[in-house]
Structure 1
């Protein structure tokens, strides 16, 4: 940051007069907050091009960047045109890429290095030109700053203009390199999060595939948990996190024998003890990960069978000792279990399901969550009404 500030002060130092200095300062004060706040690389390039154009009083100014995969130079910021692409060695910008040198050209059409293709595409006539290479932190050319057609009384750019563009290029290169790195890190983060989401749903599907009767259970629990979280007043980001973690609530079922998992009748005490162990099994599996989302899912998996009155399992947690995500998932899980047919029972009638939640308020479930469920019953229970209507239509 200090280095960038010094770069800007160097630009001011090129002023010939107080009036010129004031103009440059006004430009910098105008553009710097916008540049500092900008997160989009493409928008940042536009701002940098506009700054350069104003500083040297050019008709057009653009930042060409190297596309190493295609061995091309490209720009989206040449004023009044769409994206342009040229071979990496073409024209004045190509010369600056190849040599690392800045150019100051009075008449482009008298210089054999000029590439006419840009003018032909844009129906523009280039006269005076400046190019300055942008160097990254490793001293390698990453692009080229180009200003075209000096405006004002003097038709050509001066050495002072070139110095100003060169100083702006130093600042721009550092800013663009930082923005590019930030964009790459953000892209990597998005990819990692997408991978985690996919992994969660895959593992959730694996665990549920062992239970013949569950069908789309994990998806419904995820959506119901999300709605409960939103209606409860949690921020959208937290509600989404619960939605992503909820499919993992029964992951521990992968460690339960089929004979118990799919038993149609009542469990013996020994079988029930084995069945209850799935909460801790799932938690332990997920805790092996260091990923934040999976660790969060571990907490949810380990807590979704706890009860508000402390009579749940595996730890007998009570009230707010139970993680909120676990309390929310407990409501969603039981709502789906009661409202859906299972191998050991038919689906309960809608009113009976609602009555059971009201009855269990303050015992099995947090009262405020039951209130949220009942208040928003039509929206939350709507998915089961749809399923039941579809089943009735098929039966007919």
Structure 2
């Protein structure tokens, strides 16, 4: 039985703003690094209307990417060197690949580790002020989705980079108390540009 093909519309700015503000408020109340990471993954998937999203933390010492948000909070590590994740690390710039299986950099064993029925991938490296990649978001559309990623998706993701960069220390260790939240006005200014 074939799944029905769907088209997910690009979200208007006011909806994007609402999603980001909602997730930042949820994150501000959370203390668990795993739960915060899952909230960031879900937020990123929602704002680019992706089916899945994974946040990969870059371990520069071990030369690996790792994620702790697999089922049962299992930690998965994959080596640098192949796939779109490594291209994202090397270029340190966001990009997307539509019809991903046709791309020479795509490696299913790395870029689709859970073997989802995906069609397109968007890669968003998040860097520190020196340009060092801290972590990478990898979002994918499902085969049944008719839409593809566009430059607008990249622009949307770039607009929230300052908030994502601020999350890096939280992703490495559970926090013991609530931190200062970004003001709604700061977020509105950033997303409006």
Instruction: Give me the TM-score of the superposition, normalised by structure 2.
Output: 0.73
- What residue in structure 2 maps to residue 4 of structure 1? none
Which of 17, 25, 30 matches 1:33?
25
- Residue pair 2:118, 2:142 contacting (<8 A) in 1 also: no
Q: 1:115/1:170 Cα in 2 relative to 1: closer, same or farther (>3 Å)?
A: farther
The Cα RMSD (Å) is: 3.0
Quick one: which of 98, 104, 125 aligns to 2:117?
Answer: 125
Contact 1:61–1:79 (Cα < 8 Å) also in 2: no
Structure 1 runs not aligned, ≥5 long: 1-15, 187-396
* 1:159 matches 2:123: no
The answer to which structure has the higher strand fraction is 2
Unpaired runs of at least 5, structure 2: 1-9, 177-193
Distance across 2 between alignment mates of 1:108 and 1:165: 19
Query: For the structure 1 residues 40 and 91, does the alpha-carbon distance in structure 2 shift closer, same or farther, using more than 3 Å as the test?
Result: same
Partner of 1:269: none
Question: 2:131 and 2:20 mapped to 1: Cα distance?
Answer: 26
Alpha-carbon distance in structure 1 between the residues aligned to 2:132 and 2:91: 11
Residue 67 (1) aligns with residue 28 (2): no
Question: How many aligned positions are there?
Answer: 167
Contact 1:44–1:176 (CA<8 Å) still a contact in 2?
Answer: no
Higher Rg: 1
**Is 1:66–1:88's contact at 8 Å kept on the other side of the alignment?**
no
Q: Give the SS at the match of 2:78.
A: strand
1:145 aligns with 2:137: yes
Cα separation, 2, equivalents of 1:109 and 1:69: 30
| Structure 2 residue aligned with 1:107 | 99
Residue 173 (structure 1) aligned with residue 165 (structure 2)? yes
Greater helix content? 1
User: Cα 1:95–1:80, aligned 2, differ >3 Å: closer, same or farther?
Assistant: farther
2:34 is aligned, of 42, 64, 69, to 42
Matched residue, 1:357: none
After TM superposition, the score normalised by the length of structure 1 is 0.38
